[in-house]
A and B are shown apart, each in its own frame.
Chain A
Amino acid sequence: MISKDKLKNLSINEIIEKYPYTEGFFEDQKLAVDDKDKSLKEIFSELTIEEMEDVVFDLDQFAGSLTSHIRNMQEFLGENDSIVGTLSIVAGKDKDGEWENYEKLDIKSGEIISIVGPTGSGKSRLLADIEWTAQGDTPTERQILINDEVPDKKWRFTGGKKLVAQLSQNMNFVMDLSVMEFLNLHAESRLIDNQEDVVERIFKEANQLAGEQFGRETQITSLSGGQSRALMIADTAILSSSPIILIDEIENAGINREKALELLVGEEKIVLMATHDPILALMGDKRIIINNGGIKDIIETTGEEKELMKELKVLDKVMTDLRDDLRYGNNLSRISDELAEIKTA
């Protein structure tokens, strides 16, 4: 790690050459630089009072801040130490202080786990425990292990790298950007090498998930609900730095949910999915039953449930087709007499 004092004597150009990501740092810190061949020391000695005001830090603080930035970025780029092969949740207590009904749940990358339970049952607390890599120091006293070890504290505090990415029903895009501008902005913040290819891939995957196609120049704020979710999911799967993804329901309309989950799992993510939709819940390998703040049971999806899944998909298809007919102005017709019989039985 480079020392503060060494940095002070380097020119801006030398620093950027050595650490390319510092270019954005100098810009965001609003340091007035007229000549990039001057050293930090020289630049600070020549700042006017107003320019000093803008940059807030003095030379020593600025150099300190710059070393922290370089350290953060090196950590961020060191992807190897952040591969999550297994996430383990060691049992804690429910709201009454009773021990949870299991010992240790291991979730491997590429697995989908459904979380079911009524509102207020403790789903958010479970997620928060994972995000905080709890070590018996949260109300549930659960412990989180990553690759069977006590995780590094960096997961708790760094701005750039979070353990859990979240996708939920009420999330919107708020930036005034086109689809491509948006993807490029996200890619830049991740400092990836093959930006163009990655961005193109996300665009294509998102369009495959979306029921209705959208273009590269479409403003993200004007995408439909289904299109937005498709873009969010493709972007999170491919570009998010978080190895674990929490999904809070995926609405049925305008998006291919099965493909969406395949995409996430294909990127070696761990997918946790809070849902009350039987189709989604059964797409999981296991489901966690939560009640009164604790995990009551962990159920593996059974063979019969997998068979049921096929039937549910038929029902789902029926509804989707009816929606499409409605959208394109067709008359709707009855499906079959059998269905009516099942319903009344």
Chain B
Amino acid sequence: MNLVTFSGPPSSGKTAVILKTIEAIQQRGLKVGVVKFDCLYTDDDELYRKAGVPVKKGLSGSLCPDHYFVSNIEEVVQWGKERDLDLLITESAGLCNRCSPYIKDIKAICVIDNLSGINTPKKIGPMLKTADIVVITKGDIVSQAEREVFASRVSTVNPDAMVMNVNGLTGQGAFEFSTLLYDEEDHIETVTGKKLRFSMPSAMCSYCLGETRIGKEHQLGNVRKIELGDE
């Protein structure tokens, strides 16, 4: 089984891109399954089910979605193996731009969209910087110049990534992208023992443990202060 992890800011078009890509992969006779990670709510699993794709969803609730992802990924891999999948895709929303769900030696895809603003590539941390392939969406509604500038900014932040344009609505580019996802030589039995590409967002402070009161005396542990000097 191949394992591919998708990540990207909310509403960037991850699900649309994955659905269009799966169409192309299924045509090659391969069995694809998806596990969707989200925070409070998602009904994207319905979309996958409609497309005939085995799917599971996991909601992280009050936990950091990244931590939730990494604590469950091994079980998810075993779920995929039991279903005899050729390709297992995990999809997780990068809710804070500090997300970093990628695993070493496991293909990592970051999906971002042209509408998110020209400085977005700079604002996203490890999720964009350490991805193998960056998929840019919503190219059909912005000007050619803006697409070019956006792609070049992405390349500056992650010069090693392949940068591709995929249209989640029409599917333009999805076939081409799909050829990069599956490799016959790849066989993932387990991810236990593998390592994350970069540490996940972290904090161990009183608020992580349920503190609700505001004020210095209630701030314990890993606390960072904003710089408000005279300028």
Which residues of A (160-201) have their CB < 8 Å from a CB of B?
Answer: 160, 162, 165-168, 170-175, 182, 185-186, 189-190
Q: How large is the interface on A (under 10, 10 to 19, 20 to 34, 35 or more residues)?
A: 35 or more
Complex contacts, A213 vs chain B, CB 8 Å: none
Cβ A28 vs Cβ B157 within 8 A: yes
Q: Is the CB of B156 within 8 A of A28?
A: yes
| A128–B175 CB distance below 8 A | yes
B143 touching A172 by the CB < 8 A rule? Answer: yes
A157→B159 CA distance, assembly (Å): 11
CA distance A189 to B153 in the complex (A): 8
Q: Does A227 contact B (CB under 8 A)?
A: no
Complex Cα–Cα for A259 and B160 (A): 40
- Look across to chain A and name the residue whose beta carbon is closest to the beta carbon of B100: A56
Asked if B54 is an interface residue, CB under 8 A from chain A, the answer is no
Closest to B174 in A: A128
Judged by a CB distance under 8 angstroms, whether B154 is at the interface is yes
Interface hit among A2-10, A63-71, A278-286: A63-71
Q: Is the CB of B145 within 8 A of A240?
A: yes
Q: Is the CB of B152 within 8 A of A159?
A: yes
Interface residues in B105-156 by Cβ distance below 8 A to A read: 114-115, 117-118, 121-122, 125-126, 129-130, 134, 139-146, 148-149, 151-156
Minimal beta-carbon separation of B27 from chain A (angstroms): 8
Selected contact of B156 from candidates A24, A137, A166, A236, CB within 8 Å: A24
Total inter-chain residue pairs, C-beta < 8 Å? 120
Q: How far is the CA of A118 from the CA of B90 in the complex (A)?
A: 37
Residues of A close to B129: CB separation below 8 A: 56-57
Total count of chain B residues near the partner, CB < 8 A: 44
Task: Determine the distance from Cα of A131 to Cα of B174 in the docked complex, in whole angstroms.
Answer: 12
- B78 interfacial by beta-carbon distance below 8 Å: no
Interface assignment of A239: CB less than 8 Å from any CB of chain B: yes
Interface mask (A289-332 → B, CB under 8 Å = 1, otherwise 0): 00000000000000000000000000000000000000000000
Q: Answer whether residue A121 sits at the interface, using C-beta atoms and an 8 A cutoff.
A: no
User: Interface-forming stretch among B162-170, B186-194, B210-218?
Assistant: B162-170
Known: A56-B198, A128-B176, A160-B155. A174 touches B160 (CB 8 A): no
Binary contact track A7-48/B, C-beta < 8 Å → 1, others 0: 000000000000000001100111000000000000000000
Secondary structure call for the B interface: mixed
Output the nearest chain B residue to A132 by Cβ-Cβ distance: B176
Given contacts A128-B173, A160-B151, contact A232 B145 (CB under 8 A): yes
Contacts known (A157-B164, A160-B152); A124 close to B143, Cβ less than 8 A: no
A252 beta carbon closer than 8 Å to chain B: no
Give the residues in chain B near A186, CB-CB below 8 Å: 145, 148-149
Are B140 and A171 in contact, with the CB atoms below 8 A? yes
Which residues in B have their C-beta under 8 angstroms from that of A128? 172-173, 175-176
A interface residue numbers (CB < 8 A to B): 24-25, 28-30, 50, 54, 56-57, 64-66, 68-69, 71-72, 124, 127-128, 131-132, 137-139, 156-160, 162, 165-168, 170-175, 182, 185-186, 189-190, 228, 232, 235-236, 239-242
Q: Given A170-B141, A174-B114, A235-B144, output 8 extra A-B contacts at Cβ < 8 Å.
A: A28-B122, A29-B157, A65-B159, A72-B155, A159-B161, A168-B140, A171-B142, A240-B144
Pairs A–B under 8 Å by Cβ, sample size 14: A25-B159, A29-B157, A30-B122, A65-B159, A66-B159, A138-B176, A156-B176, A157-B164, A159-B155, A160-B151, A160-B152, A172-B141, A190-B148, A236-B144
